[in-house]
Amino acid sequence: MSNDISKTKKVEIVFNLVEEIKEAKRNTMKGFLVIGKDLDVIQREKIWQYYGSHLENFEMFLTEIGFKHATAWNCIRIWRIFGRYKNLYEIDYFRLVRLLPIVNEENKGEWFEKAKVLIPNDFNDEIRIAKGKVSQLDCKCPFEEQEFYTRCRICQKWKRREKDEFKKLLQIES
């Protein structure tokens, strides 16, 4: 009986921890949205120049406050494109970043839904298709398009191999 209680308690613990993780992810996304919203105002209104007389442009301002260019602009663009959507903070930040090159005013609602509901493989495949690449579901994976890698057992480094070299390695191993 105590084994069942122990297992029941462990189930409760893991579910509570997962809820805590989900809440932390939501809070992280909320933070990125606040950053995007505030940086958007600072950039659009050009009020960055009042942060310090030595600042010559917005990029210098970003450096001054400890932001890399890409992170800052990703936050700004996410805010500008999706900032008015309800429950935006429930979508993973990195999914929204991946949408930035393909989303526009006309398709942002459709992509917002995909980011919200699709499992990772399907989401990644939709992005591949939108970028003009072949869907992983439709690809026949021809041999001549395969890449071959080996890993060193000592240092764990991966090394790309040419097909002929890989075939020779396989013959040596057998």
When divided into structural domains, the chain yields a total of: 2
Instruction: Mark whether 113 and 31 lie in a shared domain.
Output: yes
Instruction: Mark whether 174 and 129 lie in a shared domain.
Output: no
Q: How does pLDDT run across 126-171, given as a tens digit for each residue?
A: 999 999 999 988 888 887 788 888 899 999 999 988 877 777 777 7
Instruction: Mark whether 163 and 107 lie in a shared domain.
Output: no
Burial class (CB in 10 A: 0-12, 13-18, 19+), 92: middle
Bigger pLDDT: 103 vs 144: 103
Strand-pair partners of 160 = 149
Q: Do 51 and 97 touch, CB atoms closer than 8 A?
A: no
Residue with tokens 């950039």: 43
pTM: 0.76
Instruction: Mark whether 106 and 174 lie in a shared domain.
Output: no
Q: What is the pLDDT of residue 173?
A: 62
Instruction: Mark whether 105 and 172 lie in a shared domain.
Output: no
Report, as an integer, the average pLDDT of 58-63.
Answer: 97
Instruction: Mark whether 32 and 85 lie in a shared domain.
Output: yes
Q: How does pLDDT run across 42-54, given as a tens digit for each residue?
A: 999 999 999 999 9
Report, as an integer, the average pLDDT of 107-116.
Answer: 95
Nearest to 34 by CA among 75, 71, 4: 75
Instruction: Mark whether 109 and 154 lie in a shared domain.
Output: no
Instruction: Mark whether 73 and 156 lie in a shared domain.
Output: no
CA distance 75 to 45: 17
Instruction: Mark whether 117 and 154 lie in a shared domain.
Output: no
Report, as an integer, the average pLDDT of 82-98.
Answer: 90
Q: Which domain holds residue 169?
A: 145-174
- Secondary element (H or E) of residue 101: none
Instruction: Mark whether 110 and 93 lie in a shared domain.
Output: yes
Instruction: Mark whether 78 and 156 lie in a shared domain.
Output: no
Instruction: Mark whether 135 and 151 lie in a shared domain.
Output: no
